Amino acid sequence: MKVRLIAKTVICDEDLKNELGFIGPQNLIMYCARVSNPNNQTSTNTKLLDYCLKHGHVSIFEMANMVFEIETSRAIAAQILRHRSFSFQEFSQRYAAVQNIEVYEARSQDPKNRQNSNDDMEEHDKAWFKWLQEEHNKECIRKYKEALARGVAKEQARFLLPLATSTKLYMNGSIRSWIHYLQLRCGNGTQKEHQEIAMAIREIFVKELPVIGEALGWIPKTQD
């Protein structure tokens, strides 16, 4: 699993950049939110963002976007792609050959929650599951490459590959969409591998948008 921020909305207007002193998404959101208060529109007072989040005025967070690059398996990518407020671009197995298949840990089924698994398996069972995946993946890659060598199209040969096959996707969304996604996917009820992706994104998110991160309780509030 790998996550990195590759793009974010920045202010382009030179006069506004000079006036605000900052050009990132947070400042753009504050500037747009004060559209009805032109005499105070370039204020850098951040309490407005905290107020808007607490009182449900979330449309202002649609004024800026962030794009993340995510590397994961096809199985986890399918969960991510369900978030339809985002725009996606994903690695296509129709046009490029697959190189890697990911290996995952063994966890037992939660008897009370079919959407949850527990990290309570014996070490020898975990080692067996890891070995089984590695052997299976080698055979899948071997057969996949054999099919390509025989002239089978990539779009057909990919049917030999498992859901653990590595993929890369770009996920673009407004700050509002990212807030909702992170609130949902960093919490319980999300598969561990997906939750780890969300938490890695949140770590970057709060570094880029610390005031919003504080207002959401994702990082400690600074003292006034």
Q: Are 98 and 161 in contact (CB under 8 A)?
A: yes
Q: Are 12 and 20 in contact (CB under 8 A)?
A: no
List phi, psi (to 5°) of 197: -65, -50
* Rounded Cα distance, 89 and 221, in Å: 35
185 belongs to the catalytic site: yes
Place of tokens 């089924």: 109
Query: Facing residues of 65 across strands?
Result: 174
Q: Please, which contacts does 128-135 make with residues 24 or more away whose CB atoms are closer than 8 Å?
A: 129/105, 130/103, 130/105, 130/106, 133/103, 133/104, 133/164, 134/103
* Rounded Cα distance, 42 and 19, in Å: 7
Closest C-alpha to 91, from 83, 100, 65: 100
What spatial distance separates the first Cα and last Cα of the chain, rounded to whole Å? 38
Query: Facing residues of 174 across strands?
Result: 65
Closest C-alpha to 181, from 96, 66, 47: 66
Q: Are 25 and 10 in contact (CB under 8 A)?
A: yes
The catalytic position among 74, 158, 176, 185 is: 185
Catalytic site positions: 185
